Structure 1
Amino acid sequence: MSAVQLPSTERRKEIEANLADIGGAVQRSSRASSTHPPRLVAVSKYKPASDILAAYNCGQRHFGENYVQELCEKAAELPSDISWHFIGRLQSNKCKALAAIPNLWAVETIDSEAKARKLNDAWGGAGHSRGLNVFIQVNTSDEESKGGVEQHDVEAVARAIVEECKGLRLLGLMTIGSIEGSQQRPNPDFLRLRQLRDDLNAKLGLSLELSMGMSDDFEHALELGATNVRVGSRIFGSRATNATQ
């Protein structure tokens, strides 16, 4: 791990204040989920390692990245006890690179049986002694442009992971949902994901989590039972995208 410089005092205070605000909201909702206390994933894509280290020094441990190359680079220079979540679209040819990250904690974007098997093989080939947590990403809005498993295929993918992928641990279901849905209360995408989760739990004897909710709607997601929320701009602020990714 190379030395990472902290950002300016002003920037550190900004991240600390934002994290305290968001983290407090997540913790206050913990009383609604005794089985799975909610987890805050700080989405750090495009953010410098110095910002992540500032959040780390505030006690944050779960961070989410959308791009494999960026995740590999950051994992190599930041503390080894960070729990990394891959939250971008999973490509089969990137499974090996992901599996090489020692402290990869979860992949939240499994969207087919084939990719689950590919990731399982890569994880096993990397020689890890623990299972890799995975979420099945579900296309709850039935939009053609959205990634994720179609709702009627979720059970088949779940069974493939549980029965065939011994290196993977099915942790839960994830959705991004539609823009239209995010403006509704209750959010129909969150309700669909919760129902799918409940059905799977009953059929397969599981106790799955729900990864749903981002900066604009994470509090509502928590109200509807989210156990994993992905918050970026509310912690780190907006930042220009990186066109090279």
Structure 2
Amino acid sequence: MTAVQQPGTERREEIEANLADVGDAVQRSSSVNSTHPPRLVAVSKYKPASDILAAYNNGQRHFGENYVQELCEKAAELPSDINWHFIGRIQSNKCKALAAVSNLWAVETIDSEAKARKLNDAWESAGHPHALNVFIQVNTSDEESKGGVEQHQVEGVACTIAEECKKLRLLGLMTIGSIEGSHQCPNPDFLRLCQLRDDLNAKLGLNLELSMGMSDDFEHALELGATNVRVGSRIFGSRAPKALQ
């Protein structure tokens, strides 16, 4: 791990205050789902390592990245007890690079049986002693532009992971949902994911989590039973994207 520049006092205090506000909201919802206490994933894409370190020094341990290259670079220079979540669209040719990150905690974007098998093989080849947590990403809004498994395919992917991918641990289902749905209450995408989770639990004897909700709607997602929320701008503020190779 290389030395990471500490953030300035003003920036550190800003992140600490934002993290406290979001963390309090997450903790207030803990009574909604006592089986799976809610988990806050601080989405740190495009943010410098110094920002992540500020949150880390304030107790945050779960961080989410959308790009493999950025995740790998940050994992190499930040503390090894960070729990990294990959939350971007997964490409088969990037599974090996992802699997090289020893403290990769979860991949939340499994969207096909083929990619589950590919990631399983990469994780096994990397020699990790433990299974990798994964979520199946579901296209709950049936939008062509959205990534994720079609709703009728979820059970098949879940069975493939359970039966063939011994180095993967199916932790739950994930959705991004539509912009339109995010302005509705209750959010229809969240309701669909809840129903799919309940159906799978009943059919396959599972106890799956729900990863849903981001900066604008994570509190509503928690009300509907989310156990994993991905919050970026509410913690780190907005920032113009940078070009990534």
Matched residue SS, 1:238: coil
Q: Secondary structure at the match of 1:107?
A: strand
Partner-residue secondary structure (3-state), 2:30: helix
1:160 maps to 2:132? no
Aligned to 1:46: 46
* Equivalent position amino acid for 1:235 in 2: I
Partner of 1:114: 114
Alignment of 1:64-75 (within 5 A): 64-75=64-75
Task: Please report how far the alpha carbon of residue 5 of structure 1 lies from its aligned counterpart in structure 2 after TM superposition.
Answer: 1.2
- 1:102 alignment partner in structure 2: 102
Report the equivalent of 1:238.
238
Q: In the TM superposition, what are the counterparts of 1:1-245 in structure 2 within 5 Å?
A: 1-245=1-245
In 2, Cα distance between the equivalents of 1:191 and 1:82?
31
What is the CA distance between 1:92 and its match in structure 2? 0.1
Deviation at 1:113, TM superposition (A): 0.1
2: CA distance, partners of 1:244 / 1:209? 31
Q: Deviations over 1:162-209 (max 9, x none)?
A: 010000000000000000000000000000000000000000000000
- Unaligned 5+ segments in structure 1 are none
AA matched with 2:142 = D
- The two structures have a TM-score, normalised by structure 2, of 0.99
* TM-score, normalised relative to structure 1: 0.99
Query: Which amino acid counterpart does residue 59 of structure 1 have in structure 2?
Result: G
State the secondary structure of the residue aligned to 2:59.
coil
In 2, distance between residues paired with 1:76 and 1:243? 20
SS of corresponding position for 1:143: coil
Deviation at 1:244, TM superposition (A): 2.7
C-alpha separation in 1, matches of 2:83 and 2:135: 15
Cα deviation digits, residues 55-110 of structure 1 (max 9, x gap): 00000000000000000000000000000000000000000000000000000000
Separation in 2 of the partners of 1:24 and 1:131?
31
Encode CA deviations 1:109-143: one digit per residue, 9 max, x unaligned. 00000000000000000000000000000000000
Distance in 2 (CA, whole Å) between partners of 1:10 and 1:216 is 24
Q: CA deviation at 1:240?
A: 1.0
Measure the CA separation in 1 of the matches of 2:225 and 2:176. 15
Tell me the amino acid that sits aligned with residue 155 of structure 1: E
RMSD between aligned alpha carbons?
Answer: 0.4
Write the letter of the residue equivalent to 1:57: N
For 2:170, give the aligned amino acid: L
- 5+ residue gaps, structure 2, are none
Residues of 2 paired with 1:242 and 1:51: CA distance? 16
